[in-house]
Amino acid sequence: MIIRLNGISKRFKRYERRTQSLIERVFMMRRSKFDWLWALKDVDLNIEKGAMMGIVGVNGSGKSTLFKVICGILKPTEGTVAVDGRVSALLELGAGFHPQLTGRENVYLYGSILGLKKEEIDDRFDEIVSFAGLKDFIDNPLKSYSSGMVIRLGFSTAVTVDPDIILIDEALGVGDAVFAQKSIEKVREYNRKGTTVLIVSHILNTITSTCPETLWLNGGRIETRGETPAVVNDYLQYLRENPHRLDGEKEQGRGEETLEELPLEITSVEGYDAEGRECNLFGDRKPIHFRIDYISRGMTGGAKVQLAVQTERGEIVSGPIAVPFDISSSGEGTLELEIDEPPILNGTFHFLFSLLGEGADEDVLNLYGIRSKPIAFSSETKGFGYVDLKLNLL
C-alpha cells in the first residue's frame, strides 16, 4: 500500500464569536466559547500503488482535509498516516505562489516547495512553460494572471516533479476545456507509469470519465467506496433525498443552496440485439440497440442524451457524444438509440448515459441521472487495444 490511513480523525475549534483585535483576544480569551467540529472521523483508507481514485462529497464533507492530512499539511487529531513516496498536491488555487513575483520566479519558488533543486527546475523549466502555454507571459507578475493561467502554471509545475502520488483538488475544473483535457491526459499518462492519482471534483463527468474507483465522503466519514458508476449514482440519489446538504451542514456556515429533485432523470437503460432480445454480450460488429427510460418533472423543450464508453479501468474508449432530442411533455418518456457496427474488441465496457438540459454545463447541478450499462464483446479478431479498425487499400 502506498497510502495507509488508520483511524484518522481531525477536529477544529469552532467559536461562537471570533475576536477581532489583540485587545479583545487578551481580555476575552477565557470567555471565548467554542465547540469542536470534526472534519474527519474514524477514517480507515488503504490505497494501492498505481490506483486512480475519485473522491466526491458535498462541501464540508472532509475532502480537502483528507488531502491535507495525506500530504502532511495537517496533523491528525487521532490515528496514524503512512505515505510512501513523493507527493505532488494541487490543493488550492495559487497555493505556493506569490502574486508580486513573476511566473518564472514562482516556478522556482513552487518547485522548491515541492522538493526540487534549482538544477532540476532549470532542466524542466522549458517543459513546464510549454505545457502551461504561458511562454509570452512567464516574465509578467503573477497578479496580472487570470485564475486559469495561475492553475495552469501550478499544475504544470506540480506534475513535472516525477511524483509517486498526485493529489488534485478541483484543479481540473479550472481553466479552458483544451487545457483541462490536456491535464487529464497528462494525469492518465502518469497513472499508466504507476503513479497513484486521487482526484476531488464536483464535476462528476471528470470523475466518471477518469477514475475506475470512487470514494464518497459524507460528514467526515467514508460513506462508500467502489466502482465509480455505482458510487456516483448513490451520491446523486443522496443529494436528491437530502437537498439541504449540497453545500454542507448549515451549522458549519457553508450556505443554504439546495439541489431540487432532478427535473430530468434516467430510470433505466437496457441493451438489445438485432432481433430485439435483451442482451449484454455482443459479437463482431453486431448492432446494439439501447432503450433509455427517463422521467421529466416539469422540463420540456430541448435536451441532450450523452454517451461515454470506458473500460473497466476507467480509460475512455469513446465520447462523450451528445445527441439532441425534444421533450414534449412532463412525465415518463423513452429514447431509443443504436450503435450500428461498434468496432470493439474482446472485453467488458461500461456505456455511461446521462441527460443534459439544453445549453447546460456538465456539472453536478445539471448532469442528470448517470446510468452505467456494462456490455461484453466477444470478437474473433486477433489484435491489441480496444477497437478493430478496418483498413482498405486504395
Q: Tell me the pLDDT of the chain (394 aa) as tens digits.
A: 899 999 999 988 776 655 555 554 544 444 556 677 888 999 999 999 999 999 998 888 899 899 999 988 889 999 999 999 888 887 765 567 888 899 999 999 888 887 788 998 999 999 999 988 899 999 999 888 887 788 888 888 888 777 889 988 876 655 566 677 778 888 888 888 899 999 988 777 778 778 889 999 998 999 999 988 888 878 877 876 765 554 444 333 333 333 345 677 788 888 888 888 887 777 767 888 899 898 887 777 888 888 888 776 666 777 778 888 888 888 888 999 888 878 777 777 888 888 877 654 444 334 556 677 777 777 666 666 777 777 788 8
- Residue 52: per-residue pLDDT: 92
What domains are defined for the chain? 3-252 (3.40.50.300), 264-377 (2.70.50.60)
- Say what the pLDDT of residue 358 is: 63
How many helices and strands in the chain, by DSSP H and E?
Answer: 8, 17
What is the pLDDT, as a whole number, of residue 364?
Answer: 38
CA torsion angle for 107, 111, 117, 122 (degrees, to 10)?
-30
> Per DSSP, which regions of the chain are E strands?
3-15, 34-47, 52-56, 78-83, 87-90, 165-169, 196-200, 213-218, 221-227, 264-272, 281-282, 288-296, 301-311, 316-327, 331-339, 347-357, 367-377
Q: What is the pTM of this model?
A: 0.61
Contacts 24+ apart (CB under 8 A), 226-229: 228/54, 228/314, 229/350, 229/352, 229/370, 229/371, 229/372
Q: Where are the alpha helices (DSSP H) in 35-102?
A: 63-70
Q: Characterize the bridge pairing of strands 347-357 and 331-339.
A: unpaired
